[in-house]
């Protein structure tokens, strides 16, 4: 996805049977090629894998930062 994939949205290369449509193609993203799935990532079910992904997205979500000393006081 050249413009990036939003969190919570399936990759558009994902087929209905959950296989990658471009698995053996050179245009498959490098991050996908390099990824080595681990049992903790996949779990025993699709639901466990999606739960892991949701947690990963949560902890890697960008946060807005304020300059030090700019906190509001009431």
User: What is the binding site for ligand SF4 (CB under 6 A)?
Assistant: 11, 13-14, 20, 22, 28-29, 32
- Rounded Cα distance, 40 and 38, in Å: 5
Closest separation between CB of residue 47 and ligand SF4, Å?
18
10, 54 Cβ separation under 8 angstroms: no
Chain centroid to Cα 32, Å, comes to 11
Name which of 29 and 48 has its Cβ closer to ligand SF4.
Answer: 29
Name which of 28 and 49 has its Cβ closer to ligand SF4.
Answer: 28
Return the half-sphere exposure (C-beta side, CA atoms, 13 A cut-off) of residue 7.
10
Name which of 60 and 74 has its Cβ closer to ligand SF4.
Answer: 60
């Amino acid at each position: 996805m050249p413009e990036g994939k939003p969190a919570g949205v399936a990759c558009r290369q994902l087929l209905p049977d959950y296989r990658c449509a471009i698995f053996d193609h050179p245009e498959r993203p490098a991050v996908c090629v390099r990824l080595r799935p681990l049992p903790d990532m996949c779990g025993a079910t699709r639901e466990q894998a999606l739960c892991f992904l949701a947690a990963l997205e949560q902890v890697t979500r960008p946060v807005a930062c304020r300059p030090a000393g700019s906190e509001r006081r009431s």
